[in-house]
A and B are shown apart, each in its own frame.
Chain A
Amino acid sequence: MGHDPVLLASLGSFFQTNASTVQTMLVDALLAFSVQICLRAGVFSLGSVAFWSLGGYTAGIMAKHGQPTVLAFAVVIAGAVVLGAVMSVALARLHGLYLAMATVALDLVVVVLITNATSITGGAEGLFAIPVRLGTGWTVGVVAVAAGVLALTERGRAGRVVRVMRNDSDVAAALGIRVRRMERAVFVGSAVLGALSGACYALLFSTIQPSQGGFSAIVTALTIVVLGGMETWVGGLVGAVVVVGLPLWATPISTWTGVIYGGAIIVVAMVAPRGLVGLVHDGVRQVVTLGRGRGRNRNDSQDVGGPASGDVTAMGIPAPGVPQGAP
């Protein structure tokens, strides 16, 4: 790999001057992962945003009380698992838009609760002076582990199961896939990722406010997922880099940030419904197919000449008498 000293040095200085930007990207990538794993499996939940707030406040309060970071993370993860499991059972009957609405409501309720529990959470002002416990390195580690877990669910049997579930949950069930159980597992995994993202945020930036969760976090997460693409964790990471980086690197036009976001989302949704990563992926596939194109045509016609040849091409047409290749 690249051991170019100039590159390394410039990367180093980049990280120094942009540390908080990079950290924000990482935190937001984790949040995007938490939404991705749900959407990818056809579970239209945005509940992980509620866990973002809960995880952030839990870690922040524990750190302020001098608890060790490891313990804070353990509590955040265990809490997300337990609460996520309970919620997933409670929400088991909801699907599609109804699940989306219910989980958005959950996110907003959590914000209200945190805002009103002033004595513990600092109310609308938020928590301040949380001891900084994490650096970029640790956050990269957390994101890398999360990305690794996601990568495992994207390939092999797990990847197939996830695709079948999203595509058609009845078919998934007819193939023996424990759809209900999988949906609950996905919800819990999403809760853990969301809570981890919040905890990292609180321990990186020494502060957290209720308004950072709820609606604004929902919008951020969805923007990242739509822009980057939900198929793979790479989409979450790329999306986070773009969404966090764009307004900072484009300061001259920053008053137009909102417009640019809106426009970008509309454009991506129209030309690349599978996000930037999907766009690149399709592009590569296209080039590869084009490259093989002419050489393959001959093979293809032989391919079809399998056991059921002849009639095969006309099979979709009810009338058997239609000559092949008629159009």
Chain B
Amino acid sequence: MEVADLEVRFGGVVALAGVSFSLISGECCGLIGANGSGKSTLLAALSRLHHGAERGDIRLAGESCVGWSPDRVARWGVARTFQTVRLVADLDVRDNVMAGVMPGSATGNHADRRRGPFAVLRGRASDASARVDEALQTVGVTAQRKRRPTELPYGLQRRVEIARAIVSRPRVLLLDEPTAGMTGRERAELGELFGRLAGSGMAVLVVEHDVRFVTSTCDQAFALDGGRVVARGTPTEVIASPEVRQAYLGTGGAGGAPGEVRAPGAGGAPGDVSGTSSVHGTGDAGGTGPSRGARA
């Protein structure tokens, strides 16, 4: 998945001001940024679920998906979770995950179609069921599969949402603050899970406030501030970059991050940051981006 010069605005608010990056299969990419920096908006744009005005391009394996419907993007293999858990309250946990099974993807390969319509149906049904159980197992909510989501603690609901997202084995997995409100041990578990998912060939994008989590889990990272990419590279580089430190410190250190920001990359050379947009700095966060001349 490649994103080129993506701009999203809601009325006068520029939520994303020319964001470019790419996600690579097999890699877990971290996305950090202060509140309101445009992280969720970026995920909405990648899943084609936002309702703002937009410019720029998003390509899936080389093909532009800007004109696609959100369900088409999902069927291509872009799955996501939401910042606030969005499960269906009147379905139990297992059925919620089952809802993530896409008709076309359950068998995984088209060879099964040759065995006739009924074989496909049977095959799909049992295969789908097995996948759901596997997904529940993977995120560790097998014991709660018969419960209603609202009966579960928030952290487990998040896991259910992750199961629903991975059950159809997406090619791109977008996670919006999946570890919010979790304990250190659970973060570690999920971090390890995301690593495994990436290892299985997915391109994973994780929005995360905890920089320690990003350094331990992600292969790559980038930071947003005021809708711009202010740093990119390895997690250590990103965290060491002055823009990121400035953004986190400047906003009062959301989530107790400042202390952690300094630790991993202390003394790192700022010049190493290969972000193209870092020239804008953070001074014009939320502004209209005067340096972008070619606006229609």
Give the complex CA separation of A311 and B141 in angstroms: 13
Which one of B69, B100, B143, B154 contacts A175 once the chains associate, using CB atoms below 8 Å?
B100
Among the interface residues A171, A174, A305, A317, which one has the most CB atoms of the partner chain B within 10 A? A174
Are A314 and B183 interface neighbours, CB within 8 A? yes
How many A-B residue pairs have C-beta atoms within 8 angstroms? Tell me: 103
CB-CB < 8 A to B86: which residues of A?
A: 168, 170-171
Q: Does B144 interact with chain A (Cβ within 8 Å)?
A: yes
Binds A, one of B6-14, B184-192, B280-288: B184-192
CB-CB < 8 A to B144: which residues of A?
A: 303-304, 306
Which one of A160, A310, A312, A314 contacts B98 once the chains associate, using CB atoms below 8 Å?
A160
Which one of B75, B79, B88, B164 contacts A163 once the chains associate, using CB atoms below 8 Å?
B88
Interface residues of A in 159-178 (CB under 8 A from B): 160-161, 163-164, 167-168, 170-178
Q: Does B155 interact with chain A (Cβ within 8 Å)?
A: yes
* Chain B residue at minimum C-beta to C-beta distance from A181: B71
Cβ distance A312 to chain B, nearest Cβ, rounded Å: 6
Convert A290-318 into 0s and 1s, putting 1 for each residue whose CB lies closer than 8 angstroms to a CB of B.
00000000000011111110111111111
What are the 6 A-B residue pairs with the smallest beta carbon separation, nearest first? A315-B155, A316-B154, A173-B70, A307-B140, A176-B74, A306-B143
Are B153 and A176 interface neighbours, CB within 8 A? no
Give the complex CA separation of A163 and B92 in angstroms: 12
Give the complex CA separation of A318 and B71 in angstroms: 33
Cβ distance B150 to chain A, nearest Cβ, rounded Å: 12
Are A318 and B102 interface neighbours, CB within 8 A? no
Q: Does B130 interact with chain A (Cβ within 8 Å)?
A: no
> Which residues of A pack against B, CB within 8 Å?
157, 160-161, 163-164, 167-168, 170-180, 302-308, 310-318, 320
* Chain A residue at minimum C-beta to C-beta distance from B100: A175
Give the complex CA separation of A303 and B74 in angstroms: 33
Interface residues of B in 179-213 (CB under 8 A from A): 181-186, 189
Which one of B90, B91, B186 contacts A315 once the chains associate, using CB atoms below 8 Å?
B186
Pick 13 A–B contacts, CB within 8 A, sort by A.
A157-B103, A163-B90, A163-B99, A167-B89, A177-B71, A304-B143, A304-B144, A307-B140, A307-B142, A308-B155, A308-B159, A310-B185, A316-B154
Given contacts A167-B88, A176-B102, A315-B155, 17 further A-B contacts (CB under 8 A): A157-B103, A160-B95, A160-B99, A173-B70, A176-B71, A176-B168, A178-B71, A179-B71, A303-B144, A304-B144, A305-B143, A306-B144, A308-B155, A308-B156, A311-B182, A312-B155, A316-B153
> Which residues of B pack against A, CB within 8 Å?
47, 49, 69-71, 74-75, 79-80, 82, 86, 88-91, 95, 98-103, 105, 140-144, 153-156, 159, 164, 168, 181-186, 189
Known: A175-B99, A176-B102. A167 touches B186 (CB 8 A): no
Give the complex CA separation of A320 and B155 in angstroms: 12
CB-CB < 8 A to B99: which residues of A?
A: 160-161, 163-164, 175
CB-CB < 8 A to A160: which residues of B?
A: 91, 95, 98-99
Cβ distance B181 to chain A, nearest Cβ, rounded Å: 5
* Chain A residue at minimum C-beta to C-beta distance from B98: A160
* Chain B residue at minimum C-beta to C-beta distance from A172: B71
Give the complex CA separation of A168 and B88 in angstroms: 8
Are A173 and B71 interface neighbours, CB within 8 A? yes
CB-CB < 8 A to A317: which residues of B?
A: 181
Give the complex CA separation of A227 and B105 in angstroms: 40
* Chain B residue at minimum C-beta to C-beta distance from A178: B71
Cβ distance B14 to chain A, nearest Cβ, rounded Å: 22
Known: A170-B49, A320-B184. A315 touches B154 (CB 8 A): yes
Are A318 and B91 interface neighbours, CB within 8 A? no
Are B70 and A315 interface neighbours, CB within 8 A? no
Give the complex CA separation of A312 and B156 in angstroms: 7
Known: A175-B102, A308-B186. A180 touches B156 (CB 8 A): no
Cβ distance A217 to chain B, nearest Cβ, rounded Å: 29
